Amino acid sequence: DGGITQSPKYLFRKEGQNVTLSCEQNLNHDAMYWYRQDPGQGLRLIYYSQIVNDFQKGDIAEGYSVSREKKESFPLTVTSAQKNPTAFYLCASPPLTGPVDYGYTFGSGTRLTVV
């Protein structure tokens, strides 16, 4: 089945550490997005990539970095510059352009906690 795989499901980070969240898709979609979810704040866009080797900052990009070297992969690095990284992180991908029946496909998320 086609879908998005996020790993790990749970991640713990020490103060000052960089950590990388994985997002892999086998949907053959061009675009991939990273959202951050906090209680009461909904989903906020961190970074997005519409095509391989290209990406743009979203609304809350500070303290995060991404790469898009392969179509299937869009890893997110949470750097030590992100002062409040504890959150639930969701990777998503819209379908190919054309008739859109099912909206975005979302991964199951990674819960990051600072210890």
Site string (27-66) toward other proteins, x via CB under 8 A: ----x-x-x----xxxxxx--x-x-------x--------
Query: Of 13, 61, 73, 109, which one interacts with other proteins (CB under 8 A)?
Result: 109
By CB under 8 A, residue 97 contacts other proteins: yes
By CB under 8 A, residue 108 contacts other proteins: yes
Minimum CB distance to other proteins smaller for 7 or for 18:
7
Whose CA is closest to 109, among 22, 31, 14? 22
